[in-house]
Structure 1
Amino acid sequence: MTEIDNTLALSRAGIDTYRQPVVFMREDCHVCRAEGFAALTRIEVTLGDRSVIATLNVLTNGDWLPDDTAALSEEAWAALKPQPGDRASFTHPEPPDSVSAIRAKVYGETLEQQRFDAIIRDVLDHRLSDLDLAAFITACAGDRLSIAETIALTRSMQAAGETLDWGGAEIYDKHCVGGLPGNRTTPIIVSIIAAAGLMIPKTSSRAITSPAGTADTMEVMAPVSLDIPALRRVVEAEGGCIVWGGNLALSPADDVLIRIERPLDFDSDGQLVASVLSKKAAVGAKRVLIDVPVGPTAKVRSAETAAALAERLRAVGKAIGLTLSIHQSDGTAPVGRGIGPALEAQDVLAVLRRNENFPVDLRDRALDIAGALLDLVPETGSAGGRKVAAQLLDSGAAEAKFMAICDAQGGFTEPGEARYHAVITSRTAGRLIAIDNRRIARTAKLAGAPRQQLAGLRLLVQIGDHIEFGKPLFEIHAETLGELEYARSYAEAQLGLCTIEEAN
């Protein structure tokens, strides 16, 4: 009996599918027909002792691809590392063990450690489809994860990657749960903490649902895609770093889950806590401060929600050996003036450089959080941290440390300006009493942020300002006229974006 040939030559498609291995195959390909593959089929690709589970994209008009060849996305190519002339085999993979656990969670069952371990293992092995991952994320949303399950998920996510060992040194870290546009305190805080002689290897994410993540803003000024040896060199030289966590093997499953969470556009407390604290533990941190902004249009909207989140954070932190402090802050309005990577970077530099027109609210918030983190240092003494933080900032020590960190990460770059600007003005007069965080963030995203680094918007007013008719409220920045008009049209249609209380 003749054995079926299920092999194909390999080519590089040159397509970035962001952490998702994808195979491109012609529909008239003999392997596609023989194996019964269809679009979005999960297939196992094996080359020697290496294999990867990938999603199949079927070409109905595949003139660019020979019928005896499969093209690999960048992620699949990196996993298999083929050489010229290599042929790989293509088969149906065994059903993943964790699908039954995901199904159980969908129907409301409580999962134990072993089942979370299986899910995270299959996440990293690419054995779960995007539909499987979306089902898991949805089943865990809201309050569907108990604290015990959150602890188990956190441990699974940390154990799936590398945990840094700093030889007994005390490691500090901070995180903001987000939802507040322009709240770019991290580069300032890291500079202050490192200038104080402490170690703070800060890994940050790119934007999920916001106009900029810390990594997006920092990348405007210095490289952030460092590997672990480079991260170690920076921290050992300067005491701190601000790098993108997605390039590291620290809680790597989180970046896969974030890829699914981004289009779903929601977070859950359990997954948020597991994501944040697994990364803090993986970076080797022992003393951690979590900032929780609370406001009607922030991610956390009430004191009751903040209290429930704080309880979950403390319980998980204690279970995995972290000394955790929760800092509740004002989340009623954006922080600083810039919203978008380059515009937020300009605000950060204005504070560090002590410019005459620096955003006072960003400076004060950074000092509050840096001070609270310094209060976790036994030698600082209770409530003395903010004074130390202010001295380090006002003396220029924090600025010098920031520049040294940038140099160590690959060199500093001054933020640029977008090509196109449009000013949105007030249609009434009175006192500005509210800015909608979500709508202002959406305006910045429609302008192109964070994909376009120079895009976003600059606030020209603050809560409490007296507003005259026709007064400029904010300025939209974009790299293309199309995005500028898109954002302007949205902003002009949003009457509740800026709430002005008319004078009697």
Structure 2
Amino acid sequence: MNNQTLKLRRIAIDTYHENVAYLHRECAVYRAEGFQALTKIRICANGRRILAVLNVVDDAAIVTPSELGLSEQAYAQLNASEDCAVSVDHAEYALSMDAVRRKINGERLTLADFESITQDIAASRYSKMEMAAFLVATGQNNLDRDEVLYLTRAMLETGQQLNWGEALVADKHCIGGIPGNRTSMLVVPIVAAHGMLIPKTSSRAITSPAGTADTMEILAEVNLTPKKLHDIVRRHRGCLAWGGTAKLAPVDDMLIAVERPLGIDSQGQMVASILSKKLAAGSTHLLIDIPVGPTAKVRHMRAALALRKLFEFVGDQLNIHLEVIITDGRQPVGRGIGPTLEARDVMQVLENDPGAPPDLRQKSLELAGRIIEFDPDVRGGQGYAIARDILDSGRALGKMNAIMEGQGAHTIDFTPGKFCYEVKAGSAGVVAGIDNLQMANIARIAGAPMDKKAGVDLLRKTGEAVKTGDVLYRVYAEFMSDFEFARKLVEQDSGYTLSKAAAVQQHDAFL
């Protein structure tokens, strides 16, 4: 172990779920230890230690030769003050990388292998490159159902697990891929108003135009401490919070940080990710929504049925009551795509506004009704009517307002971005199809979710007749550069398909 100490310096760089350290090339410790860029190092201060990936710096304005710099994540994890003395040494070798190499070679891994891998990832012994190797090795169809179970168990064990002390703790999750599908923000107040416990912890968007947490943030605070989250749920029977502060299955968050930019989203990894998070959140009853459509994540009914079987197998093994519903994923749900526009849609439904998106209302009622039927006092088939009554009576709106106040209500402004581009029909016809991927991409290029007011507002959905010049949708942006990028993307592909025929592709046609 090197005995020479360096002075700690905080480097204001967000390295997103990866500990990064910075040493000057002329640093005596760097030269003496023979470190190289991307070497993993161990950093100690005041009895605490962390592991980090090393970046080498030639600019003394960033770090001087007598300093060690830490990225925001690493600095917070070390929990030491700036200018304190730190020591640096080579990190221990991650022994579980041997299991990753075996998986790359096509071998089947054991529960012990997955536990070793996830523990090393949680301890920051893996760089993002090594996590990418693990994700690629286990991607596509390279995990059998038992390995998916092992990975789920292993990820669950790396973080906290909430226990609500109740026999029925409900939750729902959509596998994603459908823009505007903000049903959770309607399901939670409906189910909570029925009296069932539904502590909803949600993610932020990584490559999509909005996650539930991004949209809820328009209405209320979502960064809740574990204590505040518990207090709100105990008082109001539900919440809509960001899951990142609760440290539930943290390895899942670390893997997602690598997985999404690579575009890796295999079924096995997705099932392990969803179920480890839900089990860690204390859920006992879970409804899974699998949208199916030509531009959804799941494009054929046979794939949806296979995914449902995988969810059910793992859920049964882990003693969670799980039901899977397969829904129509032909087009975006609701009108808005992007945080502000999606939050507007949600509140219109809760307020029973005549102009509220009917598809968002209908799907939310169906999902809420299925969850209400988890209640042993509710007969099968009665859930939808109960959910509809809760929504129509205003009880769901009252519950949502209470949850918002509990979390910390924000001043609401549904005004979209200041730059607007109208996309018009080039000919008369019927909207035959809307490309989910392209619409999400347009909204994201326009600035969503970082710019909360950016996004896409749909004026026409499939099956609707349009005349030449009718506005199909509007693109909103906060900055001219994003606006121009989005406009060029629309000109390349509007995402809409118009047909002269009255018949529009039916749901069964691609299932």
The answer, yes or no, to whether TM exceeds 0.5 is yes
SS state at 2:490 partner? helix
Structure-2 residue corresponding to 1:492? 491
Provide the C-alpha distance between the structure 1 equivalents of 2:138 and 2:206, rounded to a whole number of angstroms: 18
Q: Deviations over 1:226-275 (max 9, x none)?
A: 12111100100100001111111111111101100121123111111111
**What is the one-letter code of the residue matched to 2:484?**
E
Q: Give the deviation of 1:209 after TM superposition.
A: 2.9
Structure-1 residue corresponding to 2:145? 147
Q: Deviations over 1:131-163 (max 9, x none)?
A: 110011111111111110111111111111111
Provide the C-alpha distance between the structure 1 equivalents of 2:471 and 2:170, rounded to a whole number of angstroms: 41
Q: Bigger CA drift: 80-89 or 273-282? A: 80-89
Structure-2 residue corresponding to 1:410? 408
Q: Give the deviation of 1:503 after TM superposition.
A: 5.3
Indicate conservation of the 8 Å contact 1:341/1:450, yes or no.
Answer: yes
* Change in CA separation of 1:4 and 1:106 when aligned onto 2, cut-off 3 Å: closer
Q: Give the deviation of 1:6 after TM superposition.
A: 3.6
* Change in CA separation of 1:345 and 1:9 when aligned onto 2, cut-off 3 Å: same
SS state at 1:266 partner? coil
Whether 1:192 and 2:190 are equivalent positions in the alignment is yes
SS state at 1:160 partner? coil
SS state at 1:345 partner? helix
Q: Deviations over 1:196-238 (max 9, x none)?
A: 0110001111113311111111111111111211110010010
Indicate conservation of the 8 Å contact 1:208/1:261, yes or no.
Answer: no
Superposed CA RMSD in Å reads: 1.4
Structure-2 residue corresponding to 1:470? 469
SS state at 1:77 partner? helix
Q: Give the deviation of 1:84 after TM superposition.
A: 5.0
Structure-2 residue corresponding to 1:368? 366
Residue pairs, 1:396-475, within 5 angstroms: 396-416=394-414, 417-475=416-474
Provide the C-alpha distance between the structure 2 equivalents of 1:339 and 1:457, rounded to a whole number of angstroms: 5
Whether 1:37 and 2:35 are equivalent positions in the alignment is yes
Q: Bigger CA drift: 113-122 or 27-36? A: 27-36
- 5+ residue gaps, structure 1, are none
Q: Given the alignment, which residue of 331, 334, 345 partners 2:332?
A: 334
SS state at 2:18 partner? coil
Structure-2 residue corresponding to 1:235? 233
Structure-2 residue corresponding to 1:482? 481
Structure-1 residue corresponding to 2:507? none
Structure-2 residue corresponding to 1:130? 128
Q: Bigger CA drift: 34-43 or 179-188? A: 34-43
Q: Give the deviation of 1:83 after TM superposition.
A: 3.0
Provide the C-alpha distance between the structure 1 equivalents of 2:174 and 2:391, rounded to a whole number of angstroms: 20
Q: Given the alignment, which residue of 223, 226, 231 partners 1:225?
A: 223
Provide the C-alpha distance between the structure 2 equivalents of 1:450 and 1:197, rounded to a whole number of angstroms: 32
Provide the C-alpha distance between the structure 1 equivalents of 2:121 and 2:2, rounded to a whole number of angstroms: 31
Provide the C-alpha distance between the structure 1 equivalents of 2:337 and 2:293, rounded to a whole number of angstroms: 18
Provide the C-alpha distance between the structure 1 equivalents of 2:271 and 2:482, rounded to a whole number of angstroms: 35
**What is the one-letter code of the residue matched to 2:486?**
A
**What is the one-letter code of the residue matched to 1:333?**
Q
**What is the one-letter code of the residue matched to 2:67?**
T
Indicate conservation of the 8 Å contact 1:51/1:80, yes or no.
Answer: yes
SS state at 2:421 partner? strand
SS state at 2:51 partner? strand
Q: Give the deviation of 1:15 after TM superposition.
A: 1.9
Matched residue count: 501
Q: Give the deviation of 1:67 after TM superposition.
A: 1.4
Q: Percent identity?
A: 42
SS state at 2:473 partner? strand
- 5+ residue gaps, structure 2, are 503-511
Q: Give the deviation of 1:488 after TM superposition.
A: 0.9
Indicate conservation of the 8 Å contact 1:17/1:74, yes or no.
Answer: yes
Provide the C-alpha distance between the structure 1 equivalents of 2:242 and 2:102, rounded to a whole number of angstroms: 34
SS state at 1:451 partner? coil
Residue pairs, 1:30-109, within 5 angstroms: 30-109=28-107
Q: Give the deviation of 1:418 after TM superposition.
A: 1.3
The runs of 4+ residues in structure 1 deviating greater than 6 Å are: none
Whether 1:304 and 2:302 are equivalent positions in the alignment is yes
SS state at 1:328 partner? strand
Whether 1:382 and 2:397 are equivalent positions in the alignment is no
SS state at 1:458 partner? strand
Structure-2 residue corresponding to 1:209? 207
Indicate conservation of the 8 Å contact 1:6/1:91, yes or no.
Answer: no
